[in-house]
Amino acid sequence: MILLYSATGNTVCVARQLGRLLGEEVVSLHEADANRLKGQQRIVWCFPIHSWGMPKAVRGFIDSLVMPAESKHIMVCTCGDDIGMADYQWRKALAKRGATGGAAFSVQMPNTYVALPGFDVDSPEVVSLKLKQAAVRVEEIARAIYADEPVGSVVRGAFARVKTGLLYPLFMRFLTHASRFTVNDDCVGCGKCLLAKCGYIELKEGRPIWRHERCNMCMACYHSCPRHAINYTRFTRKKGQYLANQ
């Protein structure tokens, strides 16, 4: 089984390609529960990297269930550049729930993090290059999974321990407040931001409101808005938007 979490669609593309190559069903994390996971021979966890670690939704999912110890757990994550020690974090979280995390792989995809100065979406040239390379990389990963290779391959980047051990908790604590999302008068109430599927946004009188305490900070609402009317602080006003072509 391919267990999928994605905010802006990159990981959907990767999970679907993997599913086709391995002949495995892709199941969304939102539709999975303990019963669905039980008895699976292999679970391939597909999710994006958020601040050199797991997205809140993936962490929450693992923490809420007893994981099937009989399954082989494999991680395939997507990232803009590098993942730090996210695979260690994933293994540790699984171990706490009674399962053993095995091989981990990363795939570079177009970047979706734009909320701090210095971060923006990739240029169209970089997007197209990354997508071409990713398709080849996923084939490579599928072969490794099929051959049951115990060791995966990830791009850790520089200062990997500091990024996951120190920056990740700081990011989750201080830089994921949905109260910093704003919507301006360009909003036409089209509701495309609800496609973010996080379930934490609703339309009130034709405008989005965020349920502050539970936002995943996945940025899907920001990227989905056809009018660029949604912003996360002033830093995103001049930033680009990106949604994967699924």
Q: Enumerate binding residues for ligand FMN (CB under 6 A).
A: 6-11, 48-52, 78-82, 109-113, 217-219, 244
Smallest separation (angstroms) from ligand FMN to the CB of 166: 13
List, in order, residues 6 or more apart from 174 with CB less than 8 Å away: none
Smallest separation (angstroms) from ligand FMN to the CB of 139: 18
Q: Strand order of the sheet with strand 26-28?
A: 26-28, 2-4, 42-48, 72-79, 101-108
Closer to ligand FMN at the Cβ: 80 or 101?
80
Closest CA to 175 of 209, 211, 218, 208: 218
Smallest separation (angstroms) from ligand FMN to the CB of 6: 3
Closer to ligand FMN at the Cβ: 70 or 139?
139
179 vs 175, 189, 212, CA distance in Å? 11, 19, 6
Smallest separation (angstroms) from ligand FMN to the CB of 83: 6
- Strand ranges inside the chain, DSSP E: 2-4, 26-28, 42-48, 72-79, 101-108, 181-183, 201-204, 207-210, 230-232
Closer to ligand FMN at the Cβ: 99 or 107?
107
Smallest separation (angstroms) from ligand FMN to the CB of 73: 19
Closer to ligand FMN at the Cβ: 55 or 208?
55
DSSP state of 153: B
Closest CA to 80 of 139, 12, 131, 17: 131
53 vs 137, 180, 227, CA distance in Å? 21, 22, 30
Smallest separation (angstroms) from ligand FMN to the CB of 48: 3
